[in-house]
Amino acid sequence: MNFTCFSSDFAVVNWKGSSIVSIPLAVVENSMAKQEQRSNSTTFQSTSSSMTDQLMAENVMKQREPPCHVMDLRSDLYNITGDVRIHAKSSTVFIPFPEKINLSRGHNSWKIRPYARNKDLRAMNRVREWLVIPAVSDVQVPQCTQNHTIASILFSTGGYAGNHFHDFSDIIIPLYLTSRPFNGKVQFLISDNRSWWVTKFRAILQNLSYYPIIDIDQEEDVHCFPSIIMGLRRHGELDIDPSKSPYTIRDFKEFLRSTYSLKRRNAVRLRHGDTRKPRLLVISRKRTRSFTNSTNIAETAQSMGFEVIVAEADMHVARFAEIVNSCDVVMGIHGAGLTNVLFLPEGAVMIQVVPLGGVELVAKTYFGDPSKEMNIRYLEYKIGTKESTLIEHFPLDHVALKNPYSFHRCNLEAFKSAYLDKQNVTINVRRFKPTLLKALELLHE
C-alpha cells in the first residue's frame, strides 16, 4: 500500500494498482502502528544498544510529561487530580506540580487541543489550543474566584462538529466513554462552543451531567476544580473497544434508547405466513448523494411487502431517532445520515448504498464494521455506473467513471467535488430487488 496524500478523514492511496481511491485515516493509523512495531522489532534485533539509548531518551521525555497524560493514535488527554485552576482568558490550566516531573528549559508547559481526532490537522486547526502549566515557585498562579467540588471535563465542539457522523464519532461517543464513570457528577466545560450544537444534543448532555454547561471560553472567572480531564477518549469510528472500556457500543445504544425514550429494543421477527409488514426507512437527502427516484424505490419495496417511509434527518434528533427506532430496515447512500443506525432496534437491517468514487473501504470502516458490533445486520449495495448521475457529466468511457484515482490524482478537492458533492443516485430497482429480498430474509426467524 502506497500512501500518496492525506486530508480530513481520508488518505488517498494506490492499492496494488486498483481503483480504490481513498481509505479512512483510521485504517492508515492502524497500518502505520503495525509498521512501526515491525520497525522497532528490527531495530532491537540488530542494534540493542541503540534501542537502550532510545528507551532512556523516551524515559526522560516521559518524566517531563504531567502524570496521567494519555496519547494514542486517535485521542490526546490529560487526567489531572489536585488543585486545578482554569484561567480562560489566557486558555491556561494551572495544575499541581508533582515532584517526580523533571522540568527543564523548553519543557515547563504542555499544549492540548481537546478534540478527539488528533492526527487530523484540518480538524485540529479549528480547535482552540490550551496550555497546561505546573504550579511551580516561579509561576504566578491566579486566585480562584469560583470553587467547584466536582470533577470537570474540558472538550471542544470545534473540528468537524455539525457533521452528524463526526458529532457522534468525534464528540458524543468519546464524551460518553469519558464521562459515564462519573454517573452525572461531573461538570462539562465546552471550548469552541456552538450554542446550536448544545441545543441539538441537549438531551444527551443532560443525561451525562447533572450540571449546567459552562462555556469556558467566555468566562471571566478563574474556575477551580479538584480534578480535570482535558480531551476525550476515542476508540475508533462509531466504535467502543470493550478491551479498553467497561462499556460497549450496545451499552451506548441502550443509553440513547433511554435518553430519547425509544420504545423498540428489537426489530420484528417474521415467521412463515406472517402478514406483518416490516417498516423500511429510505433516508433522503436534498443537496447531494440523494436518490432521484425515491418514489420508484418506495413503490417497489411496498410491492414486496414493506411499509415504506421516506424521510430526511435534521436538527431535531429526538424526532428522527423515533422514526428510525420504529423501523426494521434503513437504507441510504453513504453519508452522515447513516449515523442514525445508532437508533435502530437490535436485529434490524441497514443497507448502505455505495456510490462511485472508490469509497468502498471508507463505507465499510465507517458504517459496515460498526453496525455488526451493534447487532445490526449489514447489507451493501454498490451502484453500477449507469445508476450514477455522473453519467450526465461524463461519457461512459471517461476516466472519472472508470478510474476515479487517475481522474483526481490526489486532489482531494476534485474528489470531493465530483464524487461527494455532485453525485446523486438513480437506483435500478430491478437490480436492487435482490438486496431488498435479502433484507426480508434476514428479518425471518
Q: What is the largest CA-CA distance in the chain?
A: 80
User: What is d(CA 202, CA 315) in angstroms, rounded to the nearest whole number?
Assistant: 11
Domains along the sequence of the chain with CATH: 2-59 (no CATH), 64-245 (no CATH), 258-388+423-442 (3.40.50.360)
- CA–CA distance from 298 to each of 10, 200, 363, 425 (Å)? 33, 30, 24, 15
Which of 304, 335, 315 lies closest to 425, judged by CA? 335
Confidence check: pLDDT of 129 > 50: yes
Confidence check: pLDDT of 22 > 70: no
The phi, psi pair for 172, rounded to 5°, reads -65, -50
What pLDDT digit, counting tens, does each position of 286-339 carry?
888 999 999 999 999 999 999 999 999 888 999 999 999 999 999 999 999 999
**What pLDDT, on the 0 to 100 scale, is given for residue 404?**
83
What pLDDT digit, counting tens, does each position of 416-439 carry?
888 888 899 999 999 999 999 999
User: What is d(CA 284, CA 278) in angstroms, rounded to the nearest whole number?
Assistant: 19
Range name among 112-121, 246-255, 431-440 with the lowest pLDDT average = 112-121
The phi, psi pair for 219, rounded to 5°, reads -80, 135
- Mapped onto helix, strand or coil, the DSSP state of residue 422 is coil
The phi, psi pair for 275, rounded to 5°, reads -100, 0
Confidence check: pLDDT of 213 > 60: yes
Confidence of residue 15 (pLDDT cuts 50, 70, 90): very low
**What pLDDT, on the 0 to 100 scale, is given for residue 410?**
62
Residue with the bigger pLDDT between 96 and 203: it is 203
**Quick one: average pLDDT of 12-24?**
40
Pair 181, 235: CB distance under 8 Å: no
Confidence check: pLDDT of 42 > 80: no
Which of 74, 28, 35 lies closest to 237, judged by CA? 74
User: What is d(CA 211, CA 353) in angstroms, rounded to the nearest whole number?
Assistant: 41
- CA–CA distance from 410 to each of 132, 137, 250, 327, 418 (Å)? 38, 52, 37, 39, 13
Here the cell at position 137 is 515557585
Q: Report residue 167 CA to chain centroid gap.
A: 7
**What pLDDT, on the 0 to 100 scale, is given for residue 420?**
84
**Quick one: average pLDDT of 91-107?**
68
